Chain A
Amino acid sequence: MTVPVVDRAGLPVAARPDWRWRSGGERDLRSVPVLVSLVVLALVFQALNGAYLSADNLVNMTLQASTTGILTLGVVLVLMVGQIDLSVGAVSGLSAAIVAVGVVRAGWPLAVALVAAVLAGAALGAGYGWMFTRLGVPSFVITLVGLMVGVGLQMQVLAPTASLNLPYESALVRFSQESFLHPVASLAVVGAVVVGVTVAGLRDRRRRRAAELPAPSLAEIAARAGVLAVGLGLPVWYLNTSRGIGGMVAVFLGLVWVADVALRRTRWGRSVRAIGSNVESARRAGFAVRRVYLSAFTACAALAAVAGVLSAGRLAAANQGAGGADLTLTAIAAAVIGGTSLFGGRGSAWSAVLGVAVVHAIGSGLTLVNADGSLRYIVTGLVLALAVTVDALSRRSRLVGR
């Protein structure tokens, strides 16, 4: 075997730093504690109530989790730039009210009402972004103001009543409550994802080898495909023994996928993480910092509006209580539990999935064992405290470890 002495760039191979392949590996490891705690939760609650892991209950859980999950995804975006949005619950309640009033009282076509609701949310978010970037008001104050204004607007829109029912034959209600992916279609999606990820992995491997960069082995790629096939296929198959994958769940996962690609693979995503990590460095690197903040706040509020619309469909009603304060805190808790840092810069779109899975695993479990509703708040609160503590400690060790 001949050992090349000089690489393509004309540099002696010995001078090249010796680093190993580790792209992605670290990120995967970060979610391990959350996955372990999900397994523990599942085992404990299953032992307490045999119905916990039934397909029926899991389908219910995914349906409940998907609206919270969309809210959480928005919160993740704002946390990634190092800011916060305390008004996502109120914005979702407002958008639910707009859809219901638009369809039932004003007689708008559903599509118009949906667009109006999401635009209203996005406009609020853009307002936060403007106040934050131009006037320098801290985001927690702006969004606290947004929360109060949002709740007030929600009441005004719904007035004179406190709630408004959507007709059951409305397409929105049907979609949220009754649409499920066909079992064959859902498995086909799983297959497409596995094939797509594998093909992308092989192409990446080829390019990396051509560039003489460390590349994953074929065995690693195959193992990844296998884990993905089992990890996605098995749950989907199991859920299909009941009603299957809900339309809302598919919307949620699709949004997460889009956000994940945007965060990891685009210049915008790079600027989001750079700003969350160090605003001044990002500004000097030439990123349009104000525009990125504006886009994060706008996307967060628009996602909150989408969540509100879907939950209105699921309840077939909009009411004053929709999107109460605990919904916002649940979404923020889920984002942090899922692994997005409160201090900005670190996190991923998939933390929304992991986070809501934990929160709803606890919620559903406590309901099934007939625990008092108060207990759910306390337990979720304590889990949030734990996640934030881990976040703060890991940040401190990074800062001290220089």
Chain B
Amino acid sequence: MTHPPVMSLRGITHSFGAVRALVDVDLDVHAHEVVAVVGDNGAGKSTLVAVLAGALVPDAGEVVVDGQEVLLRSPGLARQLGVATVFQDLALCEDLDVVENVFLGQELRRGPLLDEVAMEREAQRLLAQLAARVPSVRAPVSELSGGQRQAVAVARALVGEPRVLVLDEPTASLGVTQTAEVLNLVERVRDRGYGVVLVSQNMADVQAVADRVVVLRRGRVNGVFDGETASYEEIIAAITGVVPNRAGGAR
């Protein structure tokens, strides 16, 4: 990839009291690329997501978006700067329909009233882009499956054309079919030119879609692998810190 990254993290460091959650973390995200962030429980994945989402300002380090150093001070600001995050719980409203959820908090208006026609059309376009099958855009989200809900949450994140999409454990609570659906979704988002950060604990998912795999261990980057060529064992070794059959187990 010859283009500069759309987003770079440089030396991100953050502590909660005595706990060093992130130490000097670097991360580059390019357009048309899925970067997977993996790691064991407590490796710092959630903290990294919070930093990317603008929910947490790190103690040190810089975030560069499109060559500009920025401070992701709030989720709203992160969105404005083109970094959209889909949290693990999706943050949907069950009683509201698909269109209402896609535009939740960023409704389009005509004068003082909501512009339902424009929102429905745009929601339809976004979902078609994701090839998401939803029974009706006017169906309440409570009627949708887990995979369909993920699609709605991703469509919402794509409103306003972000540069980078951060997905936090998108398949954690899904079955086999729905997981496949969501992974297709991830690839489609990438193919449309977005940079995708996929935070996951599921190695199968990661190997299926990731172009690069960044391993976090105890808050540090413990290896960056090519998604195509890296073996399962190599990545697991980096996650657990055990070096497999090499140089007498030196760390």
Binding site for B on A (CB under 8 A): 9, 11, 15-17, 19-20, 22-23, 26, 204, 207-208, 211-213, 261, 265-267, 270, 273-274, 276-278, 280-282, 284-287, 345-346, 398-399, 401-402
Contacts and interface: CB of A to CB of B under 8 A. Distances in A.
A346 B95 contact: yes
* Most chain B beta carbons < 10 A, residue from A204, A265, A267, A277: A277
B76 interface: yes
Contacts of B75: 284, 286
Contact of B128 (A17, A213, A287): A17
A281 B142 contact: no
B117 interface: yes
Contact of A16 (B100, B124, B138): B124
Interface stretch (B104-112, B161-169, B212-220): B104-112
Nearest to A9: B125
Contacts of A265: 113-114
Contacts of A208: 117, 120
Contacts of B100: 270, 273-274
Contact of A213 (B93, B104, B117, B135): B117
A15 B134 CA distance: 12
A401 B93 contact: no
* Most chain B beta carbons < 10 A, residue from A204, A265, A401: A265
B117 A281 contact: no
Interface string B56-89: 0000000000000000000110000000000100
Nearest to B75: A284
Q: How large is the interface on B (under 10, 10 to 19, 20 to 34, 35 or more residues)?
A: 35 or more
Contacts of A282: 93, 104-105
A20 B124 contact: no
A274 B95 CA distance: 8
Given A17-B133, A270-B107, A281 B114 contact: no
B117 A204 contact: yes
Contacts of B114: 265-267, 270
Given A273-B93, A278-B94, 17 more contacts: A17-B127, A17-B128, A17-B134, A211-B117, A211-B118, A211-B121, A213-B121, A265-B114, A267-B109, A270-B114, A277-B94, A281-B92, A282-B93, A282-B105, A345-B94, A345-B95, A401-B142
Contact of A273 (B96, B105, B142): B96
Contacts of A17: 124, 127-128, 132-134, 137
A221 B94 CA distance: 30
B202 interface: no
B105 to A, nearest CB: 3
Q: List the 4 shortest-distance A-B pairs measured between CB atoms, nearest first.
A: A285-B105, A345-B95, A19-B136, A277-B95
Contact of A11 (B107, B129, B139, B142): B129
Contacts of A280: 91
A9 B136 contact: no
B124 A213 contact: yes
A398 B142 contact: yes
A201 to B, nearest CB: 13
* Most chain A beta carbons < 10 A, residue from B106, B135, B138: B138
Contacts of B127: 17
Interface in B131-157: 131-139, 142-143, 145-146
A282 B101 CA distance: 10
A239 B101 CA distance: 43
Contacts of A204: 117
A22 B136 contact: yes
A269 B54 CA distance: 27
Contacts of B128: 9, 11, 15-17
Contacts of A212: 121
B240 to A, nearest CB: 33
Contact of A286 (B76, B96, B129): B76
A23 B114 CA distance: 15
Contacts of A19: 134-139
B121 A281 contact: no
Nearest to B115: A207
Nearest to A26: B138
A287 B120 contact: no
B244 to A, nearest CB: 41
23 contacts: A9-B125, A9-B128, A11-B128, A16-B124, A19-B134, A19-B135, A22-B136, A22-B138, A211-B120, A212-B121, A261-B113, A265-B113, A266-B112, A267-B114, A274-B100, A274-B105, A281-B93, A285-B91, A285-B106, A345-B94, A345-B96, A398-B142, A401-B143
B98 to A, nearest CB: 9
A326 to B, nearest CB: 30
* Most chain A beta carbons < 10 A, residue from B116, B117, B131, B145: B117
B125 A273 contact: no
B93 A11 contact: no
Contacts of A270: 96, 100, 104, 107, 114
A213 B94 CA distance: 24
Contacts of A287: 105
